[in-house]
Amino acid sequence: MVERVAFLGCGSWGAALSSILAEKGIKTHFWHRDNRVIKEMKKSRKHYLLPSIEFPNSVEFFSDINKAIEKVDSIVVAVPSQNVREVLLMAQKKIRNSNCIINIAKGIENNTLMTMSDVIKDVLKNKSNIVTLSGPSHAEEVIDEKPTAVVSSSKNLALAKYVQGLFSTNKFRVYTNTDIEGVEIAGSAKNVIAIAAGFCDGVGYGDNTKAALITRGLNEISLLGRKLGAKSKTFFGLAGIGDLIVTCNSIHSRNRRLGELVGRGENLSEILSQSHMVAEGVKTADSIYSLRTQLNIEMPICESVYRVLYSNSNPIREVDKLMTRNLRSEY
């Protein structure tokens, strides 16, 4: 029997992953709430944001979420993190216990401060078949078949291995990991550090600054993760330092780019209104600020990003504050 996978959301990352499955002969369903987008892609067989992605006939398009998930084996949650709950509530009656739920969203829900796997469990009532696929992986490079490595993470190792086999190719290598909390915290928090890296690019700081930022940023991410029960080693793997490096440096990084524009003095609201893609780090900065307050831990870089985004602080002033804090040991 040919496997079927439904993607809830039609973003560039979901489209890149669907192209991997199509190459392997796996039937793919794409859902988008806007029927105009669905009609456009049906007609052109190209992605509406990245026309370099051409969809084969094995890909079907739906604006009805219930029809999209009918008779599928796995469901990929591919909408922005703050929309995951809403979309799952729309689909929950048709999601079967046998469905593997694969999360590719990276963020922490604002109101509840839940990771995405916790949101999924909350909506689907303790659904255990949850996997998060994460790591250093820009859609543009996956589409161009540039070698990429990510992690498939689940408390259920057999399920992590299933997703590993589902997506692995000679250009897209998938490792397994059972620390889903660590993988999700790393994938979420790195977007906030990437915005800070963008600030540095925007104001004209150099390699020394960014190296310090990435290193100390990883320390903050690891501290938060350990407080939430994650394993330290996860932050030194693909989902941690790997994803952090690529998001802080790449021209493809939405979060770094947003930070760069803010660093140049552009208005955040205008940047967001003109962008067709979501920079998850903006909302995640709010969630992490609340989490670090709740947990009573110091995350000075993330706090600085929050103040720039939400309190109209200046990136240069915030760097000065970071550089003139009380001197201390590195560890």
Positions marked catalytic: 190
Q: What is the DSSP letter of 202?
A: H
**DSSP H or E run through 85:** helix 84-91
Is the separation of the CB atoms in 62 and 33 below 8 Å? no
Is the separation of the CB atoms in 53 and 19 below 8 Å? yes
Secondary structure (DSSP) of 264-287: TT--HHHHHHH-SS--THHHHHHH
Is the separation of the CB atoms in 195 and 258 below 8 Å? yes
**Which residue reads 């990437």 in tokens?**
194
- Written as six digits, the tokens of 235 are 């932050």
Q: Which residues pair with 77 in a beta bridge?
A: 8, 103
Q: What is the CA radius of gyration of the chain?
A: 19
Query: How far is the C-alpha of 8 from the C-alpha of 79, rounded, in Å?
Result: 7
